[in-house]
Amino acid sequence: MFKKIFTRWTHKYDAKTPTQHANQFYFEIIHQSKKSKARVGVIHTPHGTIDTPSFVSVGTNGSLKALDNAFIEKEPGSRLMFCNTYHLLIHPKVDTVVKAGGLHKYINRSSPIITDSGGFQIFSLQTHTNKVKELKGASGKKFENNSGNLIVKINEDGAIVRSYRDGSKFLLSPESTIQAQKAFGSDIMIPLDELLPINVSHSRLLESFDRTHRWEVRSLNEHLKNKNSPTTGLHQAMYCVVHGGMDRELRSRSIDLLLKEPFDGVSIGGSLGSDRSELVDILSYIMPRVSSPMLKTIHDLSTNKRRNILCDYPNHVLGMGDLDSVLGFLQLGVDTFDSAYPTRLARHGSLLAFQEDTPSHVLESIKTGDVSKLTYMPKIIQKKVHQNVYSQNYSTIDTSCGCYACRESYSLSYLHHLYKMHEPTFSTLSTMHNLYFMNKVMEIKRHLIMNNYV
């Protein structure tokens, strides 16, 4: 038999436990740009609100490398964090998180959390032959036990997979991934799906497509048995995952199949092309088909009053968040997106900054937090502090930045030194900066959309 990763758990929820936010989930559109499909909105969850469009930081194991969760909430202002079910199933295991009172308490985070089924990590990390260039996909990460593929077998039941720690096998099914996510108490859950590389045959794509959609419905049915977490007692939402690769007909079919079901939001999964032009092309086709804004009267539990709002399915682009791609697809109406892009850049010595010839009044507006006068997004560059050109540069990373590293005047020269000496402090300071910068870019972008500049 396969290794038992988690057991049935019981946790008595205290209905008297106070919660800071209303126990409900909905998405409210605040403004639709007159210039593009871009929009500004607010996702309401039991653990607080998420202003959109928004970057979602990736904390696979319940943590962003080099930073603690309490700091992440206060300093960079990351409103939504992505954690991976596959990794958490293996360690620390579900029972450990449940005993702590749920994932929020376990990792010391009060703001919203989204959890993946684990499918992306498993399928993207497996070995593929005849790999071609793809914008989203395998990271090249090596497994600790050198066991090769994480996938042992895929069938209707789910995926028999290996632990990335010791190579032991277990079944990851649509039901088991949702049971785990419900036990974690995440605000938004993602159903089990299969991620295929861009160059698979059409017959293989069709086989995966049909099975993935059956998996998604099974995942949803498991969730609908009780929409609240058995651990926290709080309401949880589930997004569907639109598939079909670069095949427009399959993408349409996926949308038609999934939007018939009572999912709470839509995520865009599968291959999104080999370059940014293909990414924008396929998203240009998908986004109008997953959006259907409507006026709705809701009972706002936070105020105990009824009010009329313009609502829609919130949407999320999975695993895509480099700035060039982001600035290209936000105008299509993307609400949230996740990526390890800024943190990975930081650890490898690349720091995000506005170009130094940006007009001083623009930089001053950003520095003081008054972005209301901006009419465009300043050009963004990467300062690669591992390069020797920064060894005698005593400026801060970005004069407009209010992150801890810039506020405390850590120089590029010092950061260059830390990087060269492999000091862990470098990863902490650089990650602080890149996360803060990414969230500042999103704040500016929301302002530009609100004022119809985008």
Q: Give me the active site residues, please.
A: 116, 338
Helix (H, G, I), strand (E, B) or coil at 155: strand
Q: What is the CA radius of gyration of the chain?
A: 22
- Tokens representing 300 are 């706002």
- Tokens representing 211 are 């099975």
- Tokens representing 220 are 């949803």
CA distance 151 to 226: 30
Helix (H, G, I), strand (E, B) or coil at 29: strand
- Tokens representing 86 are 């596959």
- Tokens representing 419 are 């990087």
Bridge partners (DSSP) of residue 40 are 31
Per the CB < 8 A criterion, the answer to whether 337 and 320 are in contact is yes
Number of Cβ within 10 Å of residue 46's Cβ equals 24
Tokens 């309490």 map to which residue? Answer: 70
CA distance 271 to 136: 7
Number of Cβ within 10 Å of residue 253's Cβ equals 17
